[in-house]
Structure 1
Amino acid sequence: MNNPIHIERQYYQTGDLLIGAITSQIFSLSYAPVLFKETPQAVPIEEHLIVPKNYQHILSLVFAVKEINENPNILPNHTLGLHVYESYFNARITYQNTLNLVFSQNWTVLNYKCGSKNLIAVIGGLSSDITLYMATILGIYKIPQVTGSFFASAADDKIHLSSLYQMVPNEAHQYTGMVQLLLHFQWKWVGLIIVGDHQGEKFVQTLTHLFSQNGICPAFTQKLVTHSDFLDKFLMMQSYLDTSKFLTHTDVNVFVINAETETIITMQWVLLAAELNMMPSICNVWVMTADWDFSSETFHRFLDVQVFHGTLSFASHSNELQGFQRFLQTLRPYSDRDGFIRVFWEQAFDCFFPDTDSSGVTKKSCTGEEKLESLPGPLFEMSMTGHSYSIYNAVYAVAHAFHAMHSSRTKHTGMIHPFLRSVSFNNSAGNTISFNENGELVDRFDIINWITFPNQSFLRVKVGEMDPQALRGREFSINETSIMWPSRFQKVVPIALCNDNCLPGYSKKRKEGQPFCCYECDPCPEGKISNQKDADDCFQCPEGQYPSDDKNRCLPKMVNCLSYDELLGISLAVLAFSLSGTTTMVLAIFIKHRNTPIVKANNRNLTYTLLISLLLCFLCSLLFIGQPQVIICLLRQPAFGIIFSVAISSVLAKTITVVLAFMATKPGSRMRKWLGKGFTNFVVFCCFFTQTSICIAWLCIDPPFPDIDMNSLAEEIIVECNEGSAILFSCVLAYMGFLAFASFMVAFFARKLPDTFNEAKFITFSMLVFCCVWLTFVPTYLSTKGKYMVAVEIFSILASSAGLLGFIFSPKLYIIVWKPELNCKEQLVKSTKQKGDI
């Protein structure tokens, strides 16, 4: 394992300017275990597992250097060379090879440079760990490192990262985009898959914090154990099988993966373990970070890539570069200066070269004419991957910066940093390359949907992007219709929830002892709604609206007002006009027969006053129909109170007149002086004046006014007259009640007086009806709302007035109209005496 070939495997290209790289990560110091189905078997060891696809990273570096050296407009008097080392995911080897780049080719003497290497920059590894190892050395000597690996912020450690430049956008934007992606599809119950190292822990901490802010719950965090963590390969494979069983049987549909290289390689071993042990295929939605690429170790060449069908991943924005495929087609495995290509060729094409040690190997011989385009996508692609695109741009960024520095005649290479920070150019694909103040690429993330096919090929489809430079609120965008989902979801967006969505009309209620994403659905209480799925709480409808029956929307309230447009209003208006007409007719008859005894009896002026006041009472009820206006509200209750008081006071005066007339017939009675128009007019005036005074005080202190009641009825807005002072309104009603009760009592005691033309008994009945109507009115009025409350008052006015009209005047009308022969003094006196004898 300490064979120098692993540490010193390198690629050289000479030039007076040198770009170093410890970035390929083609090989890893690991073993290829034999997967077992039932019992462990002997485990043969094979060194330096290869990830063939990562060889493209070296080729993109070579391609960029080749283009620059052939371009007379960039560094015309210089030739770029490159020097590539393998990192093997190993810190010690990375430190050693970084020192080799800085000081020497074959040995390392600190702070002493031997040879003519003019190292101007280093292209960093794809792993953030490898990049940080390199930065601790390169930062000391102010040698810029341009890397394609991700960091939350390049400003986290100014001491070690001051010379670090990221050829990718800030990783924080990727996390934001990932959360936006989950929220877009309402995926709130997801699994996290990481390698159990500090990088994986940081990934979990960052996402968990963002998840909690956006209502997303991690259903589980599956920590993968890499092969380097095991000494016993049987235990390692058992761990892979346990992981595959867990992922196969979980009910979580969406897996979020920190897709850096070691995680993906380990995950492929887990999937291969499941496949070889005939376990059900894991057919879930994978959401990958931008580290993800379809890259497999050679041992995974037969892994069914259909498991990744429908995967969504983030990727640094890239475009296809012209000439790169043609460059790849010219490659042949005979270069003396490329220490990687022959091993790549052998393992990618599963063959061996005759001049290599192939004892005991039964593979076919390599001809060197094999076609790279014949390799399956997971092993090698002819189109440039996102990582290779970053390396290509990194080389050009360094070249443009050094060209600007050379043009400014600055000789010290340490001064390249100002030029690198301010570099801005368009690459051959037309993309603008520049860094922000933190040394991060100013660019966006693409969202890629991976489509796989049975022949192990795949297709990248861009379905969205996360653009931090876009307008606020438009940073994230996705075309949902273009996405292909894993086959088991049957072209329907997968559901990733702890439980079913709460429908509109319900709100979430947390389950005790469960994460906040797990909840029950409670129906909204009365008067509240929820108009979206998974509402945290129900809310009141805006003023003027009310909840629908299913409590999922607000409906506009109807106006509640007794109007002439509805049957109830029309009926009451017709009744009021009919009674008014009847009263008018009775008044006309009495005026016509004003000189007859039955009209002249009991003061005909009082009779006219009573009839006119009853007519006005019937017409007064019309003020209560229609939408309230200011004048109407001011008039209707006071007018009703005053007119009704006149009517009742007229009845009271009539009753008192009967009593006084009987008392005046007694010998020596002094009551005669009270008989006459003056006394009755005084009674009516006093009652009128008292009620009018109350009404004037009411109008001055707190008058009625138009009002809108939004709350009394759930589905209607009551347009009404607010009575203002409830106390004074009650005084008006109480005073009328007092007059009615007084009239009833006087009439009741005078009903049997033996007087000609005694109306007391008819007044008694009318007052009895009047009192019953208004005693019933009070509780009914207080228990109803809106137009029905108004209708109750109108009906009470009409009923009580009709009672007075009918009981007092119908006997007289009967005589006047149908029995005119009785309408004479002699007949009435005779009739009265006969009734007295009986």
Structure 2
Amino acid sequence: MAGCSLPSGNTGGSINSPGDVIIGGTFQVHSKRVDQDQHFTSKPTELQCQIFAIEFYQTMRALIFAVEEINADTEILPNVTLGFQALDSCNTLRRAAQGTLSMLSGGKEAIPNYHCHDGTPFAGIVGDSGSTRSILMAQILGLYRYPQISYFSTSPVLTNRNLFPSFFRTIPSDEFQMKGLAQLIDHFGWSWLGILAIDGEYGQFGLQLVKQEIINSGACVAFAETILTSQPDRNAPHLINIIKKSTAKVVIVIASDTDFVVVVEKLLRQNVSGHIWVASEAWATSDLLSEERFKGILLGSIGFAIFHGKMPRFGKYFNSLNPSKDVSDPFITEFWEQTFACTWPSEKNQVIVMDNATISPCAGNEMLYVQPSEEDQRLSLNVYTAVYAIAWALHNLLYCKPGTGPFYLGGCANISSFQPWQLLHYIKNVNFKTRDGRQIFFDSAGNPPAVYDIVNWQVGARGMLEQVTVGSYEFNGSSGKSFNIDSAKILWFNNNTQIPPSQCSPSCPSGYRKVIVPGKPPCCYECARCPQGQISNQTDAAECQPCSWDTWPNLQQDRCLPRPTEFLSYEQPLGYSLAFSSVFLGLTPLVILGIFVCNNKTPIVRANNYSLSCLLLLSLFLCFLCSLGFIGYPQPEKCLLRQVAFGMVFALCISCVLAKTITVVIAFNATKPGSRLRKWTGVKVSYCVIGFCIFVQLCVCGIWLILSPPFSELDAETKPGIIIINCNEGSATAFWCMLGYLGFLASISFIVAFLARCLPDSFNEAKLITFSMLAFLSVWVSFIPAYLSARGMYTVAMEVFAILSSSWAVVGCIFVPKCYIVLFRPNMNSREHLLGKSRIQN
């Protein structure tokens, strides 16, 4: 055996206790080592460990407490005594490997492939605290299928069952933690943040996982820097420079407290404050960082912590420790010195003087009242749970019934001589309840149920930083993510209760959308107003949503409102003004007709065809009234008939004017000697002209109504935000043909009247008709561009105005002068006066 042994080496301090089954444990009791230069000319010196870590000493004691509690419990492993071997790995791979091989060998020397426990079976190891050390240990233990249950190793690499077939843990994998951290960032609305991570397995895998989750949630990473554990200053000057230059106010830190504290010291010296630090579970409840001097930097920090659980009797057990009773514990003297700020004197020196201060010697009879708090018990609870997992697996192995066992032919293992792979089977299938009611089991990758506390760093009564539980995060396959936070309990830096923002760009309010700036991260955007007709009813909207056709955005463009409708209504000032004008002006032809009927015997009334004048006045009355068809709600029947009615009555009106003009020309030429036009001086020619002109217009309108009739429509495109209710003319060609035909008739009347304006006749109306047609044509020529440029109800108003103006032009130019003579100059309304005037003209 001696020929197979490795050189003996000191595996560090350890605590041992015999038993029927041995459980091993590795703990980082000391957090720092002293490295010395190696010249390879002599045997390397042993590692010197420094900085006693009370928190990890408590975890070691939690293993001892759990073993003693199980040995005293008659319900689990009755008549079987558990022993333990707990050692200090001193935060080094070398000590972790030496300790693992030593425990497997069963003696002080590490002898690979040999077991010297003198028949006492070795169940497995609880440890280690660091992922890097656990990976090394798992590679060794996996070769022999010895179960390993870590209480603080969170690297996702360890879930690979091909590489680490016998690894388990009572702390969730970083895969769950990093998803939770990204969800925490999203919960508080932080979209611009930095990440600091140590350069080990824990930090780099965590950095990649959380970075990807953050990007997937829509946030951006301003910087991702590494804390270099190989450098004494941890690369702190560079990190501080990056933090100061960045606009990100939230920084996720994936590191241990011993590494991050170097960065915090540098932050403190440079007075860099005002940041929110998001903690991974490795430092979320650190005593090292909870000192009063750090509160200006770390106050308001928030992060994930190991589930706190309860160990009711552990505090009493821990306070019962005493150097005089626990003589087998090599660490208790250091614990005593650090707790009571004393030192154990040598035989010669009873008082120690250090840095001009007197330190009292330790007496050993001091009253220990450490009472681990709820926060301090988090890691201890994980160790406690790991020991119970092994104990329950051994219990199930102990009570296996032959014939129903899990091994060959239903066989069972013997508690006094089981193989490690046999116990590994029971570890995989263990399922039990802790004393505080939690259900513990391991999934196929060796992970427990993923449960975290969310803690917030606040100032306690003693001025120290304390971690207050403000929520929880739970992840499981059946219900998915469960994330709860009591925001009212959270205090940020400066004791502010409002969530501090951390954004590259200010939030875009409702009514705006984000516009990505080329060359910059997606979170560094600009805000642009939503396009016309679209809204956004949430902050930081990526796209605006269009309103439906019958709604339109409000002024803020954050909601859609029903579009107002528009048509030329009787209730509007323009509508009732035009309606009043139509009725009032429509009475004028009737009044004139009444005057003509009362004075139908007078020469000026009878001249130029009395019956045509009456018909023209009636047509003008209809022209005024047809404008009312354009006012009011555009119903389908009204749309169908209003343009046709307008075209027909105006055709009647202009044809009457044309007939009167032709009558004047015929009458003058018929008075010449030998003229053959005498037989055409009757009313038949006039009515034939009128009938023909109306027939042509009737044909145009009939074809229009048959092929493409007008209809009522809702126009949501012409005027933004308004639905115009109007009449679609159906065929624009038919409409302009109808209107063009009226213009053609008016032009013929104007030309004929203009040529006959100087005929020597006292009753000659040619001049009056010339002016009336000139005014008529002027109105409708002006109407065309105005009609084409107007929108909505003003299009209709323009046509009504043109109808009224052109109709009044005919009335004013032809009939008003005659009424003036009839009513106010009766002496001019005599045959003698007209004949006298005729002679003068001759």
**TM-score normalised by length of structure 2:** 0.85
The counterpart of 2:838, out of the listed 828, 833, 837, is 833
Cα distance between partner residues in 1 of 2:621 and 2:477: 77
Tell me which residue corresponds to 2:253.
Answer: 257
The one-character-per-residue Cα deviations of 1:491-517 (angstroms, maximum 9, x if unpaired) are 543232335445556655556665444
Tell me which residue corresponds to 1:319.
Answer: 309
Equivalences for residues 120-135 of structure 1 within 5 A? 120-135=123-138
The one-character-per-residue Cα deviations of 1:90-126 (angstroms, maximum 9, x if unpaired) are 2232223223333413233333333233333432323
Flag the 1:25–1:305 CA change in 2: closer, same or farther, 3 A: farther
CA shift for structure 1 position 311 = 0.8
Flag the 1:356–1:782 CA change in 2: closer, same or farther, 3 A: farther
Tell me which residue corresponds to 1:266.
Answer: 259
Flag the 1:680–1:405 CA change in 2: closer, same or farther, 3 A: farther
- 8 Å CA contact 1:254, 1:284 repeated in 2: yes
- 8 Å CA contact 1:325, 1:383 repeated in 2: no
CA shift for structure 1 position 657 = 1.9
Tell me which residue corresponds to 2:409.
Answer: none
1:173 aligns with 2:196: no
Gaps of 5+ in 2: 1-5, 37-46, 354-358, 406-411, 414-419
Tell me which residue corresponds to 1:618.
Answer: 624
Tell me which residue corresponds to 1:89.
Answer: 91
CA shift for structure 1 position 798 = 1.2
Cα distance between partner residues in 2 of 1:391 and 1:827: 137
Tell me which residue corresponds to 1:39.
Answer: none
Flag the 1:436–1:597 CA change in 2: closer, same or farther, 3 A: farther
CA shift for structure 1 position 256 = 0.9
Letter in 2 for 1:7: T
DSSP-derived class of the 2:116 partner: coil
DSSP-derived class of the 2:143 partner: coil
CA shift for structure 1 position 817 = 4.1
- 8 Å CA contact 1:154, 1:164 repeated in 2: no
The counterpart of 2:55, out of the listed 34, 53, 56, is 53
1:206 aligns with 2:199: no
CA shift for structure 1 position 577 = 1.6
CA shift for structure 1 position 309 = 1.4
The counterpart of 1:483, out of the listed 490, 510, 530, is 490
Tell me which residue corresponds to 1:341.
Answer: 332
1:568 aligns with 2:574: yes
Tell me which residue corresponds to 1:109.
Answer: 111
Flag the 1:600–1:249 CA change in 2: closer, same or farther, 3 A: closer
Flag the 1:711–1:348 CA change in 2: closer, same or farther, 3 A: farther
Choose 194-203 or 590-599, whichever is displaced more: 590-599
Flag the 1:96–1:776 CA change in 2: closer, same or farther, 3 A: same
Flag the 1:240–1:762 CA change in 2: closer, same or farther, 3 A: closer
Choose 354-363 or 509-518, whichever is displaced more: 354-363
Choose 626-635 or 590-599, whichever is displaced more: 590-599
- 8 Å CA contact 1:153, 1:438 repeated in 2: no
Flag the 1:675–1:117 CA change in 2: closer, same or farther, 3 A: farther
- 8 Å CA contact 1:257, 1:286 repeated in 2: yes
The counterpart of 1:787, out of the listed 793, 804, 810, is 793
Letter in 1 for 2:91: F
Equivalences for residues 76-475 of structure 1 within 5 A? 76-115=78-117, 116-149=119-152, 151=154, 153=156, 157-226=160-229, 229-230=230-231, 236-237=232-233, 240=236, 243=239, 247=243, 252-259=248-255, 261=256, 264-272=257-265, 278-280=269-271, 282-296=273-287, 304-333=294-323, 334-354=325-345, 362=353, 363-371=359-367, 373=369, 381=373, 384-409=376-401, 410=405, 411-412=412-413, 414-417=421-424, 419-453=426-460, 455=462, 457-469=464-476, 475=482
Equivalences for residues 7-46 of structure 1 within 5 A? 7-22=11-26, 24-31=27-34
**TM-score normalised by length of structure 1:** 0.86
- 8 Å CA contact 1:547, 1:554 repeated in 2: yes
Choose 423-432 or 49-58, whichever is displaced more: 423-432
DSSP-derived class of the 1:640 partner: helix
Flag the 1:188–1:678 CA change in 2: closer, same or farther, 3 A: same
The counterpart of 1:678, out of the listed 675, 684, 691, is 684
The one-character-per-residue Cα deviations of 1:687-715 (angstroms, maximum 9, x if unpaired) are 22222222222223232222222232234
Flag the 1:606–1:283 CA change in 2: closer, same or farther, 3 A: same
The one-character-per-residue Cα deviations of 1:390-411 (angstroms, maximum 9, x if unpaired) are 2333333333344344444343
- 8 Å CA contact 1:13, 1:337 repeated in 2: no
CA shift for structure 1 position 65 = 3.1
- 8 Å CA contact 2:13, 2:87 repeated in 1: yes
- 8 Å CA contact 1:51, 1:296 repeated in 2: no
Cα distance between partner residues in 2 of 1:635 and 1:114: 114
The one-character-per-residue Cα deviations of 1:369-400 (angstroms, maximum 9, x if unpaired) are 4455459xxxx646553322323333333333
- 8 Å CA contact 1:190, 1:220 repeated in 2: yes
- 8 Å CA contact 2:195, 2:225 repeated in 1: yes
The one-character-per-residue Cα deviations of 1:511-556 (angstroms, maximum 9, x if unpaired) are 6665444455566677766665555566655544556666666665
- 8 Å CA contact 1:154, 1:439 repeated in 2: no
Letter in 2 for 1:114: C
- 8 Å CA contact 2:222, 2:246 repeated in 1: no
CA shift for structure 1 position 484 = 0.5
Cα distance between partner residues in 1 of 2:92 and 2:578: 97
The one-character-per-residue Cα deviations of 1:228-275 (angstroms, maximum 9, x if unpaired) are x25xxxxx359556655765676542221003x2xx212213333565
DSSP-derived class of the 2:163 partner: helix
The one-character-per-residue Cα deviations of 1:315-369 (angstroms, maximum 9, x if unpaired) are 2443334333233332323324434333323234332345799899544333344
The one-character-per-residue Cα deviations of 1:30-61 (angstroms, maximum 9, x if unpaired) are 2499xxxxxxxxxxx97432221122222333
Flag the 1:197–1:657 CA change in 2: closer, same or farther, 3 A: same
Choose 562-571 or 814-823, whichever is displaced more: 814-823
Flag the 1:642–1:435 CA change in 2: closer, same or farther, 3 A: farther
Cα distance between partner residues in 2 of 1:169 and 1:238: 27
Cα distance between partner residues in 2 of 1:695 and 1:152: 87
Equivalences for residues 530-609 of structure 1 within 5 A? 533-534=539-540, 536=542, 543-546=549-552, 557-593=563-599, 597-609=603-615
Cα distance between partner residues in 2 of 1:815 and 1:693: 40
DSSP-derived class of the 1:140 partner: helix
Cα distance between partner residues in 1 of 2:447 and 2:592: 101
Flag the 1:549–1:693 CA change in 2: closer, same or farther, 3 A: same
- 8 Å CA contact 1:54, 1:295 repeated in 2: no
The one-character-per-residue Cα deviations of 1:449-496 (angstroms, maximum 9, x if unpaired) are 121247353433333343435999984443433211112x75543232
RMSD: 3.7
Cα distance between partner residues in 2 of 1:622 and 1:741: 26
CA shift for structure 1 position 283 = 4.5
Cα distance between partner residues in 1 of 2:581 and 2:298: 82
Letter in 1 for 2:384: Y
Cα distance between partner residues in 2 of 1:113 and 1:7: 17
Cα distance between partner residues in 2 of 1:6 and 1:607: 135
- 8 Å CA contact 2:535, 2:547 repeated in 1: yes
CA shift for structure 1 position 766 = 1.6
CA shift for structure 1 position 445 = 3.1
DSSP-derived class of the 1:48 partner: strand
Letter in 2 for 1:452: V
1:493 aligns with 2:499: yes
